[in-house]
A and B are shown apart, each in its own frame.
Chain A
Amino acid sequence: DLQMTQSPSTVSASVGDRVTITCRASQNIGSWLAWYQQKPGKAPDLLISKASSLESGVPSRFSGSGSGTEFTLTISSLQPDDFATYYCQQYNSHAFTFGQGTNLEIK
């Protein structure tokens, strides 16, 4: 089975910091990777699709990169609204897998 490994599992940062979250796939998934933000008690929100395409309405401080097996989500300057949990998700041959999540907390 295709596995997605996110790191770190928790990151502590301050408003204005630059933060990078990594997601590694156990096999080549091309660019079929998405990033979601989830806040407590809410459904996830899609931030980025196809590894680097920013969804409509998502602030430009979010960016995604990578292909193959290694991907990153970068938040260039953290805002108070960004403290949440982030998940990567891959699509490969009608199988969908999420990373285990990264909790972004206030330092």
Chain B
Amino acid sequence: EVQLVQSGTEVKKPGTTVKISCRVSGHTFIDYYIHWVRQAPGKGLEWVGLVDPEDHETIYAEKFQGRVTIIADRSADTAYMEVRSLTSEDTAVYYCASPGTPHVTRYFHHWGQGSLVTVSS
């Protein structure tokens, strides 16, 4: 069974940085892209970016370019997402997700449980 287990709730002040982890088990880590998707309170889903653990290639949604970094640690089967210069608009649940087919990334079959990030002064 594929499982994505995320780190816990974070409370951050505006202007600071948060780093969230996503540990993967149940399939070969380097064969499956890892995506990050966020959901602000009461709002819809928003794709943030992805990493290919095999070659560490990353792609980000345009609005997050330069403020978000996604990495994959192959030694720990864990992906990380760092968001810098936090504002209240970054308050959201952040999900990691992965496709069900190796080396293909179109849909999100497996999801983490979500990590709530609250940005407040």
Name A91's closest neighbour in chain B (CB-CB).
B106
What's the minimum C-beta distance from A77 to chain B, rounded to whole angstroms? Answer: 25
Interface size class of A (residues with CB under 8 A): 20 to 34
Contact of A44 (CB < 8 Å), options: B46, B105, B108: B108
Which range contains the number of B residues in contact with the other chain? 20 to 34
B112 at interface, CB cutoff 8 A = yes
Given contacts A1-B62, A32-B106, A34-B107, contact A100 B44 (CB under 8 A): yes
In the bound complex, CA of A43 to CA of B39 (Å):
10
Cross-chain contact A96 with B109 (CB below 8 angstroms): no
Q: Quick one: which of A46, A55, A99 contacts B44, CB cutoff 8 A? A: A99
Which chain A residues numbered 39 to 81 have a C-beta less than 8 Å away from chain B?
Answer: 43-46, 49-50, 55
Q: Min CB distance, A44 to chain B, in Å?
A: 6
Give Cα distance in the complex from A96 to B108, angstroms.
11
Please, which residues of chain A bring their CB within 8 A of the CB of B37? 98
Q: B46 to chain A: which residues have CB within 8 Å?
A: 98
Cβ of A14: which chain B residues have Cβ within 8 Å of it?
none
A99–B59 CA distance with the chains assembled, in angstroms = 20
| CA distance in complex: A95, B46 (Å) | 11
- Per the bound structure, the CA–CA distance linking A46 and B112 in Å amounts to 13
Among B44, B105, B106, B112, the residue within 8 A (CB) of A87 is B44
Whether A43 touches B47, Cβ cut-off 8 Å, given contacts A32-B106, A91-B106, is no
Q: Indicate which residue in A91, A95, A100 contacts B107 across the interface (CB closer than 8 Å).
A: A91
> Is the C-beta of B17 less than 8 angstroms from some C-beta in chain A?
no
B45-57 contact mask (Cβ, 8 Å, vs A): 1 or 0? 1110010000000
Expressed in whole angstroms, the minimum distance between the Cβ of A79 and any Cβ of chain B is 22
Residues of B in contact with A (beta carbons under 8 Å apart): 35, 37, 44-47, 50, 59, 61-62, 95, 97, 100, 105-109, 111-114
Across the A-B interface, the 7 shortest Cβ-Cβ residue pairs: A43-B111, A96-B47, A91-B106, A98-B45, A34-B107, A101-B44, A49-B107
* 7 contacting pairs across A/B (C-beta < 8 A): A1-B62, A43-B111, A89-B107, A89-B108, A96-B47, A96-B50, A101-B44
